[in-house]
Amino acid sequence: MRLKEAGELRLLQEIRKRHSLFSAAFAADPEIVVGIGDDAAVLSPRSWQTLVTTDMMLEGVHFDTSFSNLASIGYKLVSVNVSDIMAMAATPRYLFLNMAMHGDTDIEDFWLLFSGIEHGIRMYDLKLLGGDLSSSTGPCMLSATLLGTSNSFVTRSGAKPGDRVYVTGSLGDSACGLEVLKRLSQESRQVIKAIDFIHEFRPDAGDSISFEQGISSSMDFSTALPLIKRHLAPDARASSAYASAATSMMDISDGLFIDISRLCDESAVGVEIFMNRLPVSSEMTAAAGLLGLDAEMLAVSGGEDYELLFTAPSDIAEGDLPGATCIGMIKEQGRFTVSSSGQRREIQPKGYQHFANT
Amino acid sequence: MRLKEAGELRLLQEIRKRHSLFSAAFAADPEIVVGIGDDAAVLSPRSWQTLVTTDMMLEGVHFDTSFSNLASIGYKLVSVNVSDIMAMAATPRYLFLNMAMHGDTDIEDFWLLFSGIEHGIRMYDLKLLGGDLSSSTGPCMLSATLLGTSNSFVTRSGAKPGDRVYVTGSLGDSACGLEVLKRLSQESRQVIKAIDFIHEFRPDAGDSISFEQGISSSMDFSTALPLIKRHLAPDARASSAYASAATSMMDISDGLFIDISRLCDESAVGVEIFMNRLPVSSEMTAAAGLLGLDAEMLAVSGGEDYELLFTAPSDIAEGDLPGATCIGMIKEQGRFTVSSSGQRREIQPKGYQHFANT
């Protein structure tokens, strides 16, 4: 059945029904005064601060349904918004959704997309409090607004000279995953699209993917899939372990160099990045080698890592910040990389820019 | 110059610059802790409740650039969100924008759209606190999220038997305006598109518009333009005059009959609507007559009126609710219209439904 045969009201009723499955928690949340169903949701937050972020995802720009299944896309929509709230050291709470899909879309695809969103809602312990559903004459267009609460948020502007610079996880995986996806053979593209990265993601060491465009070698699933998952269905990093130590924080969405430059702008400081300390995964290094890509370039300029980038005073031990790696030092001014031999180079902030790349 | 030549960063810089023109008020708002520029905005509302609404507008679905200029579209995006907050008897405050346009869009068109949004921001005394800007491979897609604050909001669920039913303004103007637009001659379409409905709207009695599709007569500007403005660039109604009296409230976005049915559902009550009390404008009656449309049908089923629909106890005098007309009475059960001769008919809630109409 297609969406235009089902109709908006039936979809909304079904969303409300599914929603009741996990809305038992609503009654237990005294901060929700009015939930879904009125002209607006009403909240009565007990925290000192309410945080708001909003992000868009468009078919053909932010995602490609030829290799991404819709469950991953729905989950990513939630993750990227959660990442912004986490990046302020706050607690993600209330989600508002806008979804526009073509009337010819199969209703199964709608529910696949929604299942990814639901998975995100459960994973991050959010509550869906409203939104808007529309037909589209063209591509699928999604946006979400997420509210968070905090009693002690962290901005981009608190970094001080002498602070250390940290990142969580590993850098460049998502960008490398995208490069892998772009080069897949038609056959492997179908295999990847069929994988449910959010519910049952288990790389199988026995399988491998193949490429087109003159790349003769194949790549093990165990190398490719973690990178592809990082691109198609990224998890947002929890920031609570760093909240009390961090002097400034943001998430890396456009690439390390452009994002650390923004943090330095807002904090009016400089930085030195120790290139030999950048955390990279063995999968990324292996895949980049196989595809002839510059792993270091992917790590510093690759977008959509959704890792946390933060600064903390030098008297905090790296061991007290589990999951984070010290990659540099905040300075009075200047923005430089420092190689293992001590060579300094000025940082060139480069990253994805909408319109400029169309 | 096209958007793809300007690039996202330049647009964002320019928005920030324009923004500073009206952001002097920001410093005076102690409830804004962090504004535009970090991962999320941070608010510290002093009111008891925070309200959130979100709405989408898509080219080809919600608007047609062949007769609507982009300034009107931007203003309408703000108005429809403000209307939702007003409908809860709350104060609209903080706006978050998502805008996606094709890279081939002329940059002048982007600023025309943004000028309409800016006009809304000023008109309703809002603050723009964040958003997302993206290229689109297809139609223009807009969404906005608006936060409001309140110490005594009004929902759809408080109507009691014996309460009177009120609407503000007049009904059916927007739907009638759309019917006029659909029938315009190619020449008149260009004339209408060139009119700036938000900044300098003055119907000129001397001019008239012409139709195609075998409608021989023309229509005075003074009849057509107020209806067209109601469709292309509606104003949201202020609700403060009704807040203390209202037992339930919502805005009419899908048509009186479908929306009063929703209010009755949420309040678990019935209603009688006095058909001879429905407020209709002289322009709507005249235009409907000229086009052979049923004015009463437009008044009860026409969408996008963005008038307020509310109930108030019977001991409140209509004269104490300026701008509102009593159109009915809340009953224990049943939903009926009552004609001037006393004839009762069951209300058939009909309205626009996405997907079903594609």
Using a CB-CB distance cutoff of 8 angstroms, which residues of chain A are in contact with residue B143? Answer: 56, 98, 132, 143
pLDDT value at residue A358: 38
CB pair distance less than 8 Å for B137 and A135: no
Gyration radius of chain B over CA positions: 21
Strands A308-312 and A141-150: unpaired
Same domain? B110 vs B175:
no
Using a CB-CB distance cutoff of 8 angstroms, which residues of chain B are in contact with residue A35? Answer: none
Indicate which CATH number applies to the domain containing A269.
3.90.650.10
Same domain? A115 vs A245:
no
Local confidence band at A186 (pLDDT 50, 70, 90 cut-offs): confident
CB pair distance less than 8 Å for A38 and B250: yes
Contacts of A196 (CB under 8 A, 6+ apart): A69, A71
Each residue's pLDDT tens digit, A131-145 = 889 999 889 999 999
CA distance B94 to B121: 9
Same domain? A170 vs A317:
yes
Name the closest residue on chain B to residue A103, using Cα atoms: B355
Using a CB-CB distance cutoff of 8 angstroms, which residues of chain B are in contact with residue A141? Answer: 58, 100, 136, 141
CB pair distance less than 8 Å for B358 and A135: yes
Same domain? A242 vs A226:
no
Q: Considering the domain boundaries, does residue A54 fall inside one?
A: yes
Residue with more model confidence, B308 or B215: B308
CB pair distance less than 8 Å for A130 and B38: no
CA distance B282 to A202: 68
Using a CB-CB distance cutoff of 8 angstroms, which residues of chain B are in contact with residue A153? Answer: 33-34, 42
The last residue of a domain, from among A232, A252, A278: A232
pLDDT value at residue A66: 87
Same domain? B142 vs B162:
no
| C-alpha dist (Å) from residue A178 to A169, A171, B35, B355 | 18, 13, 33, 33
| C-alpha dist (Å) from residue B168 to A208, B239, B297, B306 | 65, 9, 18, 9
CB pair distance less than 8 Å for A49 and B33: yes
CA distance A291 to A227: 13
Gyration radius of chain A over CA positions: 21
Q: Are A300 and A252 in contact (CB under 8 A)?
A: no
Same domain? A129 vs A216:
no
Q: Which of A4, A265, A358 to mutate to test the interface with B (most CBs of B within 10 A)?
A: A358
Each residue's pLDDT tens digit, B24-55 = 556 678 888 888 888 899 998 888 899 999 99
Indicate which CATH number applies to the domain containing A130.
3.30.1330.10
Each residue's pLDDT tens digit, A25-50 = 566 788 888 888 888 999 988 888 99
- CA within 13 Å, CB half, A140: 22
The last residue of a domain, from among A116, A150, A184: A150
Q: For residue A67, give the amino acid letter.
A: F
Name the closest residue on chain A to residue B139, using Cα atoms: A138
Assess whether pLDDT exceeds 80 at residue A260: yes
Can you tell me the ipTM of this complex? 0.90
Each residue's pLDDT tens digit, B128-185 = 999 889 999 889 999 999 999 999 999 999 999 999 999 999 999 999 999 999 998 8
pLDDT value at residue B206: 65
Residue A223 token pair:
């190398």
Rounded mean pLDDT, A331-355: 87
Same domain? A272 vs A322:
yes
For residue B98, give the 3-state DSSP assignment: strand
| C-alpha dist (Å) from residue B76 to A158, B26, B58 | 39, 24, 12
Rounded to a whole number of angstroms, the distance from the CA of B165 to the nearest CA of chain A is: 18
In chain A, pLDDT over 90 holds for what percent of residues?
A: 70
Same domain? A127 vs A43:
yes
Same domain? B211 vs B117:
no
In chain B, pLDDT over 70 holds for what percent of residues?
A: 92
CB pair distance less than 8 Å for B141 and A141: yes
Same domain? A260 vs A313:
yes
Buried-state track B5-36, b at ≥16 Cβ within 10 A, e below 16: ebbbebbbeebeeebeeebeeeeeeeebbbbb
Of B45, B103, B131, the CB nearest to A54: B131
Residue B181 token pair:
């637009």
Local confidence band at B353 (pLDDT 50, 70, 90 cut-offs): low
pLDDT value at residue A321: 97
pLDDT value at residue B196: 86
pLDDT value at residue B210: 83
Each residue's pLDDT tens digit, A103-153 = 999 999 999 999 999 999 999 999 999 988 999 988 999 999 999 999 999
Note down the domain range covering B167.
Answer: 154-358
Q: Considering the domain boundaries, does residue A211 fall inside one?
A: yes
Q: Considering the domain boundaries, does residue A157 fall inside one?
A: no
The last residue of a domain, from among B134, B150, B166: B150
Q: What is the dihedral of CA B243, B248, B251, B253, to 10 degrees?
A: 180
Same domain? B180 vs B328:
yes
